[in-house]
């Protein structure tokens, strides 16, 4: 076998021989068979076990397989010792450490694993496995009922994924798609995840079993995922740890004596599940409102990033329309070509962060009174226009009103990014050119030989900035916004990121911080 450490593999195999194991399998997937580990004997009647190697050893550990083993944290006898993304699995390159990990696992299997160590992976323990996946609003279903709760479900199939909804009739997005029907069952306790349909029946209340029997009896002899007239799938959910729940989604095939079930890998798609991926500050950010000026390539990415992080409301300002050429760097899709950029960005935000309310607005006015009226109800103003006059106007009006401002722009064909913060305690942006702590950016000479400060307009050099520069700018601006909203204030009030070398002091890629200026 091709490994990342041939010497260690030879020692490992030698130790296996000394432990009474003999080789088998093929060259790519060696499999050694030997006596059962003493710590596993109370868990199985099997007297033999297998050590299965996979490509990538020892970066991927050798798995232990025990025929007939049925416990938590094993899948049809294959024992889960480390998660696939756990870097500690490299310790398994020494047989002694693999045995030590296995013995600790056996203790947990015998005495009971910690509840918090379980995951939404009960489908792995089920005897039948489906190649389909499932998504469902698990939390939304759970909060609707208590022990013994039953809910009617419908679902459609999209690219090998069963999209489950808590409704009988399909919504507008499922027109012309076959609709499957099923049932959701909630219990308040399960000793262990079910492995067969009989286990599921045994876990249900009498009323739930009646519903299941009726749904199965109405089935035709269709194959999953074809509609059958009865229950095409069922979902059983139960508490796992704290407010987390486990669930098994079963697809159903055939009827009567030909009835078969298989477990689908399931994930939650309700708002609560999405917010868990929004980061630790999502709840804090839920009550904040931003104004973002500019919904172009930079501003669009900023809007999606801060919304996905949990921001509750965004006022988007931009009158420009999306073109096909914009799509190289914009978050919008071809579907929105011809629409305003704010419409395209709002649609993406709705898909990524349904908790964020987005208002679409025209360009900000330049007059002080009009500008003040537009910003006075927001918590932070974010300038992504890259237009010096608007940046200067926002800086002055925000200063007068005491509203924090984050301004970010690309310079010199995307060779550098500058992000400025103007909040309580920061140097006003207008005063920085005379402050030696702040770097004065080199002027850009256009082909006409005229000096330009920012790269403006639809024919200006900013259009040559590569997508990587746009993403860097958006990341820097978004990070500055979240740093301010969360009250961390760990970033300086101005930061210049050099992406490509320019004349000193911008001659090396990296970050320039005014706090480092002598």
Instruction: Note whether 126 and 75 are within 8 A (CB).
Output: no
**Neighbouring-strand partners of residue 334:** none
Question: Could you tell me which of 283, 489, 298, 328 has the C-alpha nearest to residue 408?
Answer: 298
Distance from the Cα of residue 142 to its chain's centroid: 22
Q: What is the pLDDT of residues 348-387, one digit of tens each?
A: 999 999 999 999 999 999 999 999 999 999 999 999 999 9
Domain 278-516 part of CATH 3.40.50.720:
yes
Instruction: Note whether 198 and 161 are within 8 A (CB).
Output: no
Q: Is the dihedral of CA 185, 187, 191, 192 positive or negative?
A: positive
Distance from the Cα of residue 358 to its chain's centroid: 21
Question: Could you tell me which of 349, 414, 346, 344 has the C-alpha nearest to residue 386?
Answer: 414
Instruction: Note whether 251 and 262 are within 8 A (CB).
Output: yes
SS3 content of the chain, % helix, strand, coil (to 5): 35, 25, 40
Q: Is the dihedral of CA 126, 128, 129, 135 positive or negative?
A: negative
Report which DSSP code applies to 465.
Answer: -
End-to-end, the C-alpha distance of the chain in Å comes to 58
Instruction: Note whether 199 and 191 are within 8 A (CB).
Output: no
Instruction: Note whether 322 and 330 are within 8 A (CB).
Output: yes
Q: Is the dihedral of CA 60, 62, 65, 70 positive or negative?
A: negative
Instruction: Note whether 248 and 194 are within 8 A (CB).
Output: yes
Give one DSSP letter per residue of 155-220, joined into a string: EEEETTEEEEESSSS--GGGTTS--EEEEEEE-S--SS---SHHHHHHHS-HHHHHHHHHHHHT--
CA distance 210 to 195: 20
Q: How many CB atoms lie within 10 A of CB 138?
A: 25
Domain 6-113 part of CATH 3.10.110:
yes
CA distance 235 to 266: 10
Domain boundaries, given as residue ranges, for the chain: 6-113, 122-271, 278-516
Provide the H-helix boundaries in 244-281.
Answer: 271-276
Give one DSSP letter per residue of 15-81, joined into a string: HHHHTT-EEEE-SSSEEEEEEPPGGGGGG-S--EEEEE--TTTTTSPPEEE-TT---TTEETTEE--
**Neighbouring-strand partners of residue 3:** none
Phi-psi region of 99 (alpha: psi -120 to 50; beta: other; left: phi over 0): alpha
Report which DSSP code applies to 440.
Answer: P
Kindly report the CATH class assigned to 122-271: alpha beta
Please report, in tens digits, the pLDDT of each residue of the chain (518 residues total): 889 999 999 999 999 999 999 999 787 889 999 999 999 999 999 999 999 999 999 999 999 999 888 776 667 788 888 888 889 999 999 999 999 999 999 998 888 766 555 555 677 778 899 999 999 999 999 998 899 999 999 999 999 999 999 876 555 555 567 899 999 999 998 888 898 999 999 999 999 999 999 999 999 989 999 999 999 999 999 997 767 888 999 999 999 889 999 999 999 999 888 998 999 999 999 999 999 999 999 999 999 999 999 999 999 999 999 999 999 999 999 999 999 999 999 999 999 999 999 999 999 999 999 999 999 999 999 999 999 899 999 999 999 999 999 999 998 889 999 999 999 999 999 999 999 999 888 764 333 333 444 434 444 444 578 999 999 999 999 999 999 999 999 999 999 999 999 888 899 999 998 887 66
pTM given for the model: 0.82
């Amino acid at each position: 076998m091709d490994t990342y450490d041939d010497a260690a593999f030879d020692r490992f195999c030698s130790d296996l021989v000394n432990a009474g194991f003999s080789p088998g399998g093929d060259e790519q997937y060696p499999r050694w068979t030997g006596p059962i580990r003493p710590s596993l004997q109370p868990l199985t009647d099997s007297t033999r076990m297998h050590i299965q190697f996979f490509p990538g050893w020892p970066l991927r550990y050798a798995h232990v397989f025990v025929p007939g083993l049925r416990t938590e944290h094993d899948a049809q006898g294959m024992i889960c010792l480390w998660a696939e993304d756990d870097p500690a699995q490299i310790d398994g390159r020494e047989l002694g450490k693999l045995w030590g990990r296995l013995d600790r696992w056996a203790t947990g299997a015998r005495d009971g694993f910690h509840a918090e160590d379980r995951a939404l992976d009960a489908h792995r323990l089920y005897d039948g496995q489906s190649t389909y996946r499932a998504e469902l609003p698990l939390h939304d279903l759970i909060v609707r009922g208590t022990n013994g709760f039953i809910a009617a479900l419908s679902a459609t199939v999209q690219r090998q994924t069963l999209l489950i909804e808590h409704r009988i009739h399909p919504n507008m997005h499922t027109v012309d798609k076959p609709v499957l029907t099923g049932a959701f069952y909630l219990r308040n306790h399960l000793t262990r995840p079910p492995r067969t349909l009989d286990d599921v029946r045994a876990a249900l209340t009498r009323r739930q079993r009646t519903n299941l029997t009726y749904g199965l009896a109405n089935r035709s002899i269709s194959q999953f995922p074809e509609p059958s007239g009865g229950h095409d799938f069922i979902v059983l959910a139960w508490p796992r740890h704290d407010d987390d729940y486990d669930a098994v989604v079963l697809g159903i095939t055939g009827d009567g004596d030909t009835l078969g079930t298989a477990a689908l890998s399931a994930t939650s798609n309700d708002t609560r599940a999405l917010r868990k991926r929004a980061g630790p500050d999502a709840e804090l950010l839920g009550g904040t409102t931003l104004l973002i000026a500019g919904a172009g390539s930079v501003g669009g990415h900023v809007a999606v990033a801060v919304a996905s992080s949990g921001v509750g409301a965004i006022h988007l300002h931009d009158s420009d329309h999306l073109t096909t050429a914009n799509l190289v760097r914009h978050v919008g899709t071809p579907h929105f070509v011809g629409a305003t950029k704010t419409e395209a960005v709002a649609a993406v935000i709705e898909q990524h962060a349904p908790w964020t309310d987005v208002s679409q607005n025209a360009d900000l006015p330049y007059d002080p009174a009009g500008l003040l009226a537009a910003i006075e109800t927001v918590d932070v103003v974010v300038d992504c226009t890259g237009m010096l006059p608007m940046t200067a106007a926002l800086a002055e009006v925000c200063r007068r009103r005491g509203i924090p401002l984050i301004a970010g722009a690309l310079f010199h064909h995307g060779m550098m990014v500058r992000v400025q913060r103007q909040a309580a305690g920061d140097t006003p942006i207008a005063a920085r050119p005379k402050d030696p702590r702040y770097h004065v950016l080199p002027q850009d000479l256009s082909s006409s030989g005229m000096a330009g400060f920012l790269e403006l307009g639809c024919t200006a050099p900013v259009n040559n900035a590569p997508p990587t520069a746009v993403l860097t700018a958006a990341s820097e601006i978004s990070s500055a916004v979240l740093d301010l909203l969360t009250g961390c204030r760990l970033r300086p009030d101005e930061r210049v990121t050099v992406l490509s070398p320019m004349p000193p002091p911008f001659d090396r890629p990296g970050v320039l911080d005014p706090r480092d200026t002598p």
